[in-house]
Amino acid sequence: MENTNSPMLSPAEVFKANVQLEINRTKMPVAKMIFLGIFAGMFIALGAEGSSVAMHNIANVGMARTIAGSIFPIGLMLIVLLGGELFTGDCLLIMGVLDKKIKVLSMIRILIIVFISNLIGAVLIAYLVFLSGQFGYSNNLLGAFTIKVAMGKIDLGFTKAFTSGILCNIFVCGAVLMATAAKDVTGKIFACFFPILVFVVSGFEHCVANMYYIPAGIIASGNEAYKAKAMEAYGYTAEQLSGLNWKSFFINSSIPVTLGNIVGGMVCIGLLFWLIYGKKYDKSVKNLTSD
């Protein structure tokens, strides 16, 4: 039973509340889910573009990431407070599956719809930011930096991208569960802020954030001024920049990072949370009580 006097839910209560939210998702109309997915993709992209603006001309890596990390969480805050379906957070659907409240096919259907919707929302923001002329900041350095960020992500390699994705979604799903635990707006904001700050400072890979970062880099690389600035500022060759395209986005980044995010969210958080607080937990508590 929920303790109404507590400012937050207990972990066991968080598990039950999250499973109920997941059950509600399975009943959601597809059109609504698509719009909420687009919403979430837009919100994460807005956090990403803001963090890029803040860090693009800071030489100290630690300082740059800390400043970026303090801005990026606005994306998750918007999702938690205004509504949105985020692929990485929806990996927690596995708890409902393990608790036998949700069918596997329902989970897969939701994840596919939300993934595509997140992509639409994030790419939309990338195009709008490009059209706004923002990439021209600092004498085109922001455009060059956007290209640099995208290049770094497609050059990670499968193992680094995959493991970084695992670590990232431990933080994201942890933040989602913490936000569920909080009963007021302030608590939800802090729950979103600190875990996301640490994942950004750590440089871990988030598949939805990359739906902004890499497409934005691809779009920026199509502008000769931004491309020239990237070659001048970061030493890229035209041949290297030609490798930044939609194919490399999906194959080099999206696939390994998404798989890593799934493992981080479903196994490292979802499975363990279920093992601790699921039906087996309830039975063990009842046995202890009866003894």
The pLDDT of residue 3: 60
Q: For residue 283, what pLDDT band results from cuts at 50, 70 and 90?
A: low
Q: For residue 279, what pLDDT band results from cuts at 50, 70 and 90?
A: confident
Q: What percent of the chain has pLDDT over 90?
A: 92
Cα distance between residue 141 and residue 144, in whole Å: 5
Q: In Å, how far are 32, 89, 107, 167 from 111, measured between CA atoms?
A: 14, 10, 6, 19
The pLDDT of residue 285: 46
Domain ranges of the chain: 11-279
Q: Give DSSP secondary structure letters for 198-266.
A: HHHHHT---HHHHHHHHHHHHHHHTSHHHHHHHHHHH---HHHHTT-SHHHIIIIIIHHHHHHHHIIII
The pLDDT of residue 290: 47
1 has pLDDT over 70: no
CATH number given to 11-279: 1.20.1080.10
> Which residue in 194, 165, 170, 187 sits closest to 273, CA to CA?
170
The pLDDT of residue 289: 43
Q: For residue 149, what pLDDT band results from cuts at 50, 70 and 90?
A: very high
The pLDDT tens digits of the residues spanning 157-204 come to 999 999 999 999 999 999 999 999 999 999 999 999 999 999 999 999
pTM recorded for the entire structure: 0.93
7 has pLDDT over 90: no
Largest interatomic CA distance in the chain: 74
99 has pLDDT over 70: yes
Phi and psi at residue 282, in whole multiples of 5°? -60, -45
Are 22 and 106 contacting, i.e. CB atoms less than 8 angstroms apart?
A: no
288 has pLDDT over 70: no
Q: What percent of the chain has pLDDT over 70?
A: 95
Q: How much is the average pLDDT of 23-42?
A: 97
The pLDDT mean for the chain works out to 94
Q: How much is the average pLDDT of 127-140?
A: 97
Q: For residue 2, what pLDDT band results from cuts at 50, 70 and 90?
A: low
147 has pLDDT over 50: yes
Are 126 and 216 contacting, i.e. CB atoms less than 8 angstroms apart?
A: yes
The pLDDT of residue 6: 80
Are 15 and 104 contacting, i.e. CB atoms less than 8 angstroms apart?
A: no
β-sheet bridge partners, residue 182: 8
